[in-house]
Amino acid sequence: MLLEGDRLEIRYGSVPAVRDLSFVVEQGEIVCFVGPNGAGKSTTMMTIAGVLRPTSGDIRFEDRSLVGLTAEDIAAKGISLVPEGRHIFGRLSVRENLLVASGLRGGLGRGAPALDRILTLFPVLRARFESAAGNLSGGEQQQLAIARALLTTPRLLIVDEPSLGLAPKFVELVMETLKSVRLAGTALLLVEQSMRRAIALADRIYLMRSGRVVAEGPAKDFEARTDLEHVYFGGTARR
């Protein structure tokens, strides 16, 4: 098992945002957390990455607890987060964005093998290497955000809302990119609002609402269910 959350509770002050949450991510999987706004999906991802701390429960990565570690320590263990909204540096070039993310004082040349693998995975970034990142399309900017995270050679890549704000043609581009990342050997934990996209992409799905998981299982099982809209928007599961 690569990652496991065990009965997590996460609060903002006295207000519980996530309650009694358990989940697993296996090596090589794509796992998707799906649900409406305010379900607790992004809060969970930020907690795994060490930006927030759980009130109770545990998070284990390769059977070692992450609770209490800094975000930097968690990244060093092999977990990389692409936050919602991409947060690229629009005035910097693609090369400069990757340089900032690499953390290599000697420049990208010291990480040439990793960089070459990433530019092979994202040929548009190679073609636009010296272009301002702000001139990239939304889908290309999301590719750049994912490429920056991959420079740390993570074993688990967390991507929060990869399709947010993208035109339909760029959504497909990003989804194919994520499949390529998995094929290259990196497990993925994603946040999505669209159940349709989650079913098409993920191996397993956790459907969250109001800070809790209300349904979970293999993606193919969700495809066959007739009660998903009812559960997504506030009902209980009907079997």
- Give the domain CATH number at 204: 3.40.50.300
Judged by DSSP in three states, 93 sits in strand
Asked if residue 94 is part of any domain, the answer here is no
Can you give the pLDDT at residue 62?
Answer: 96
Can you give the pLDDT at residue 236?
Answer: 56
Q: Which domain holds residue 165?
A: 3-87+155-232
Share of the chain above pLDDT 70, in %: 93
Q: Give the count of beta carbons closer than 10 Å to the beta carbon of residue 200.
A: 14
Q: Give strand ranges (E) for 116-225.
A: 156-160, 187-192, 204-209, 212-218
Two tokens at 164?
């947010």
Asked if residue 174 is part of any domain, the answer here is yes
Judged by DSSP in three states, 40 sits in coil
Asked if residue 24 is part of any domain, the answer here is yes
Integer distance in angstroms from the first to the last C-alpha of the chain? 29
Give residue-wise pLDDT tens across range 124-144: 999 999 999 999 988 889 889
- E strand or H helix at 42, and its extent? helix 41-48
Are the CB atoms for 8 and 24 separated by under 8 Å?
no
Asked if residue 141 is part of any domain, the answer here is no
Give residue-wise pLDDT tens across range 45-86: 999 999 999 999 999 999 999 999 999 999 999 999 998 877
Among 51-60, 88-97, 159-168, the range of highest mean pLDDT:
51-60
Q: What is the tally of helices (H) and strands (E) in the chain?
A: 10, 10
Number of domains in the chain: 1
Can you give the pLDDT at residue 223?
Answer: 86
Asked if residue 147 is part of any domain, the answer here is no
Asked if residue 136 is part of any domain, the answer here is no
- The more confidently predicted of residues 213 and 115 is 213
Contacts of residue 165, Cβ cutoff 8 Å, sequence gap at least 6: 138
Compute CA distances 162 → 15, 117, 211, 234, whole Å: 27, 21, 21, 24
